[in-house]
Structure 1
Amino acid sequence: MAMVRMFVSEWQGFAGTVRASQVEVLTLSGMPGSAAGGHGTRATESARLQRKWVRKQVGLTIVAAGAMIVFLHGMVQLMV
């Protein structure tokens, strides 16, 4: 049961990170002079932020997959 709780908390933490990254990208998208740049056209900024968001999502997915592999390996070791 403790392993299930740990699994659920890991996934909730991952979901919270994904939500936070989406909110961060949305808040930066339209603010001139912000960390998003504040210069260039709207389409250029939007494309750049979308690429940044995709890279962040890919990184989070890789980290989550690695955590799941480690977690499942630990569960298998406990059962053997």
Structure 2
Amino acid sequence: YTSALHFLNTKIGKGQIFLKFDTVEHDAEKRLLAYVYMKNKTFINAHLLKHGLAQVDTTYPCKHLAKFTNLWKAARTNRNDAEKE
């Protein structure tokens, strides 16, 4: 959690972000489910997964599920390879 927060503060800072929604906007606990983009169109959700700072949630439908899963798997593989060195 701390690493993800640091990453977000460094990447976004006080910059402007935009939210895009899929078919479900809130989960059962009323948390917002959104895709987060920076003004320059950087896809923050993907960056968090790519850097191993997030996990894929398959609870709700997601149009980016395949992309998210591939990024998450690659991050795990990279982390495991780095630990072997």
* Bucket of the pairwise TM-score, normalised by the shorter protein: 0.3 to 0.5
Greater relative contact order (Cα 8 A, min sep 6): structure 1 or 2? 1
- The structure with more helix, counted as a fraction of residues: 1
Richer in strand (by share)? 2
| TM-score, length of structure 1 as denominator length | 0.33
